[in-house]
Chain A
């Protein structure tokens, strides 16, 4: 698996083969461990079959794989969090752009369809969006609270567990 190309231009540059293999097979290893729970020995064997070696060229041990796996999980989580934040920022920007005054009809006592339901004056459009967003947030919080209460009631035996599992 090792070659002389170094890490330039390769994904996960700066990391060893074990890290790279675990990153490339992250979903698989994760699902595998959550499902059948193989021992790290099995994972080591799998790596051995694929010719993955540790930083000193030796076959990775169960312990070393486990340690790298902790790092991979941390990095994947951070990466996903970063991506989600970037997406949220992009969405927010798009939302703001949709409501720029320049995007609203220029003449007359302008009316824009801000919520898709009601016609509101241009000056009120952004307020309406903000109000809708706040209402959505509140609704989301209420839904979450409701879900938590339902879970508690299911665990208390006051509702069938199936409701919790479905929820």
Chain B
């Protein structure tokens, strides 16, 4: 059986493999969103390969230590040729092992652009039946949005499926989300994205993320009262707050197109 003949739906169900790439400026919450998506996918019993291409700020590799089961994969260096080879390696692994893949490339966007110039990743995905998904992250800053528009227009990683995630955690402290994204919503490019099929998602502010991270817990583990590194579970109020956050995320992602789009 050749690579191109391989079945690309997950075993036991009629679900397509997904190659998700998170785009966006640094510190827009992309790694947190990716982490949530990884946990959600694995919790639902599906496998996903984690590609952390951000060598300078390897957040996902911190959560999923390389070399461990389900651990993140990292390129040997942040040099573009190395990152390109690494992208190719993980894409091959995705198809061979029939597991979805999520890339958090950070500054590796450039490597992805070069990779795609040499080989159309989107066309490759279509040929092997993998669904590419772009995840665009933005805070309230117009510059975050402009960065996304540039990537979207470049058609480097052309996808029919894309989601624009508004991160409320980036709304300045003391301000409410009301009107925080107005400057972006006034931009004509927002319609350009929506009309090309981009779906909007709001990632609510996570208040107790630092405690969850410090305890070394996943979102679901923390909510379920699993003890952290100090042997204690998160206190009930924080668990409730986190559960509310998870419910709001699930409410958005378990309906409509996302049921098919997500890994």
Residue numbers of A with Cβ under 8 A of B are 37-40, 63, 66-67, 70, 141, 144-145, 148-149, 151-153, 155-158, 161
Contact = CB atoms under 8 A, between A and B. Distances in A.
B123 to A, nearest CB: 13
B14 A155 contact: no
Contacts of A40: 9, 14
Interface residues of B, number: 26
Nearest to B180: A156
A67 B13 CA distance: 16
Contact of A144 (B129, B181, B191): B191
Contact of B14 (A39, A70, A141, A148): A39
Contact of B200 (A39, A145, A155, A158): A155
A148 B166 CA distance: 12
Given A152-B185, A157-B248, A145 B190 contact: yes
A157 B245 CA distance: 11
Contacts of B188: 141
Contacts of B14: 37-40
Given A39-B14, A63-B7, A148 B201 contact: no
B202 interface: yes
B191 A155 contact: no
Interface of B: 7, 9, 13-14, 126, 129, 166, 168, 177-178, 181-182, 185-186, 188, 190-191, 194-195, 200-202, 204, 248, 251-252
A148 B202 contact: no
Given A39-B13, A67-B129, A144-B194, A155 B201 contact: yes
A161 B14 CA distance: 30
Given A40-B14, A155-B252, A148 B190 contact: yes
Contacts of A158: 177-178
Contacts of B182: 149
A148 B181 CA distance: 11
A58 B108 CA distance: 47
9 contacts: A39-B13, A66-B9, A148-B185, A148-B190, A151-B200, A156-B166, A156-B178, A157-B204, A157-B248
A152 B248 CA distance: 13
A66 B129 contact: yes
A145 B186 contact: yes
B194 A152 contact: no
B146 to A, nearest CB: 17
Contacts of B191: 141, 144-145, 148
Contacts of A38: 14
Contacts of B194: 144, 148
Given A149-B185, A152-B200, 14 more contacts: A37-B14, A63-B7, A66-B9, A70-B126, A141-B188, A148-B191, A151-B200, A152-B166, A153-B178, A155-B166, A155-B200, A156-B168, A156-B204, A157-B204
